[in-house]
Amino acid sequence: MKGFMQLWNFPVDTCKFCFQGWVVIAKEKSSGKLYVYCNECMVEWESPEKYLQKYSGSSEKYGESEEPTKDEVSNIGWKRYINKQLQDRLSSN
Ligand SMILES: [Zn+2]
């Protein structure tokens, strides 16, 4: 369960589904897989593309997760999905 997680280093968007949370890039600790999830409605998507296509996500598919590193985000090609404005706002808090 990810309820305790506070990830915000790599925000993608304000959630299109609940309009309250942020969709952020996370990494599952056990598999090392990157995915995105909303920190409010807790829906998960395999990739930012799927989220942006309004593909319905899953819940509880991924286990305990952590912030990916900048290199991991850029290696998988997801750096372009990071919302700079949102990132600046979150990191200044
Ligand atoms: Zn949401």
**Residue 52 in contact with residue 62, Cβ under 8 Å?**
no
CA of 67 to the centre of ligand 1 (A): 18
CA dihedral 20, 7, 87, 10 (to 10 degrees): -110
CA of 28 to the centre of ligand 1 (A): 19
Indicate the pTM of the whole model. 0.91
What's the CA gap between 37 and 51, in Å, rounded? 9
Higher pLDDT, 2 or 70: 70
- Ligand 1 (single-atom ion) residues, CB below 5 Å: 15, 17-18, 21, 38, 40-41
State phi, psi for 69 to the nearest 5 degrees.
-85, 165
The string of pLDDT tens digits covering residues 18-74 is 999 999 999 999 999 999 999 999 999 999 999 999 889 999 999 999 999 999 999
CA of 63 to the centre of ligand 1 (A): 18
